[in-house]
Structure 1
Amino acid sequence: MPDPVDIIVGRNVRALRSKRRISQLELGEALGLTFQQIQKYEKGTNRVSASKLHQIAVFLGVAISELFEGANPNDGAKKQGLSPEAYELAVYYDRLRSTAGKEAVKTILSIMSGETYAEALG
């Protein structure tokens, strides 16, 4: 299973590349890689070496730190005005796919924060 940081770096590479209208093939050629390898980086399937991160950042015209944007939960928390714990909960909540699961989490948190069960259900 890919490391969450590898996934975040991959998503950032993809977003920055797409924003500049650069194809995976073009980025791959600039780095001496195949477009399939770029796909693997962007999915977080393969880790990107430090030297490749540097090359990607230079080619895209960004600071290396931009490739790691969002990798530290405290970064997102600060941007949203949340505590790191609240931000972490929001990230996990966002990953839930089922509406029922999201409703269950909201109900549990409502009850634990002092609402009665009836109030939590609306």
Structure 2
Amino acid sequence: QTAFEKAYWDRFGVELPEIRAVLVNLHTAVIGRRKPVPLTSLIAETEQKTKIEDCKIGIRRVWFESGWKETPIYKREFLPKQANFNGPAIIEQLDTTIIVEPENQVEVDLNGNLIISL
């Protein structure tokens, strides 16, 4: 608290003794070494499914602005090219997780890119 009050005074020249310091946001980044990942393992065409239903690996309750939603979880490398589906959805892949909000639409283009329309 003392450090916050000093930093606030130094920056703004105002004392606000009635305001308590609260950690609201914290951003971290980690850089590390790992074994090389062959890019072909990210989206191997041999793992692609033909139907979006076959890409689902689970369901999870997720909180969105409109409330709790039973949300399907898809494995990215399973998604077939030219697939289309609506959110909510979670798309998991080796290096990231994508949250698709309700009412958003996902399209997988011919190159395997995800195009999410808001």
Which interval holds the TM-score relative to the shorter structure?
under 0.3
Question: Between Structure 1 and Structure 2, whose CA radius of gyration is higher?
Answer: 2
More helix by share: 1
The TM-score with structure 2 as length reference comes to 0.20
More strand by share: 2
The TM-score with structure 1 as length reference comes to 0.20
